[in-house]
Amino acid sequence: MTELFIDRIDSAVGTLLLVSDGESLCALDYTGCEQRMLAPLRRRYGELRLRDAVDPQGFSSRIRAYFAGDLGCLNGIPVNPGGTTFQQQAWSALRTIPPGVVLSYGGMAARLGRPAAYRAVGMANALNPIAIVIPCHRLVGASGALTGYAGGLDRKRWLLRHEGVDLMSLAGAGAAAKDRGASPLRRAGS
């Protein structure tokens, strides 16, 4: 039986469930989504035991620091999300999008060298087991519209605003970029 460590973190977007393997972050999800979080962990590890832990590897402190405004503090958290080779590539690429920047699914597919794979990027995004740290909330539709987020669009909106994204101009910027044949990539304030 594999033993993993779980902590619960109160945040502005609800209580978060953080799971560590003792070295890396394996899952970060929202209370109420435990089954969605546990299913891939069980597929990866088989029978497992979640042991309560306070701030495993200091990860919970870093999550709290992010919510307190230290937007870069998540970059150094080692992650172990599992997944297919493509999912791992997509999730790794998500970590290169800085806070305050959004990218379209098509733009991410192009970054991965597979410009026609925007649907596969969307599927990988939907299956991301480590919310916020692997920032799937930073991907938007080609028009700049906020599209699905497993944690709910209200949380996605909050996270993007917290990171300084101007949501009011995002859809207009996306449409303008699409007219130019580009993928919307906007830094907050630009």
**Domain boundaries, given as residue ranges, for the chain:** 2-67, 85-187
**Average pLDDT over every residue of 53-77:** 97
Q: Which of 26, 33, 73, 136 is catalytic?
A: 136
Give the full edge-to-edge strand order of the sheet including 185-187: 139-140, 101-104, 185-187
pLDDT band at 147 (very low <50, low <70, confident <90, very high): confident
pTM, whole model, 2 decimals?
0.89
CATH of segment(s) 85-187? 1.10.10.10
| pLDDT for 185 beyond 90 | no
- Choose between 153 and 179: higher pLDDT: 153
Question: What is the average pLDDT across 145-158?
Answer: 90
The pLDDT tens digits for 105-138 are 999 999 999 999 999 999 999 999 999 999 999 9
CATH architecture of the domain 2-67 equals: 2-Layer Sandwich (3.30)
Mean pLDDT is highest, among 60-64, 144-148, 150-154, for 60-64
143: pLDDT strictly greater than 90:
no
Catalytic, 136? Answer: yes
**90-94, 112-116, 126-130, 182-186, range with the lowest pLDDT:** 182-186
Provide the mean pLDDT of the chain: 90
Report the alpha-carbon distance of residue 20 to residue 10 in Å, rounded.
17
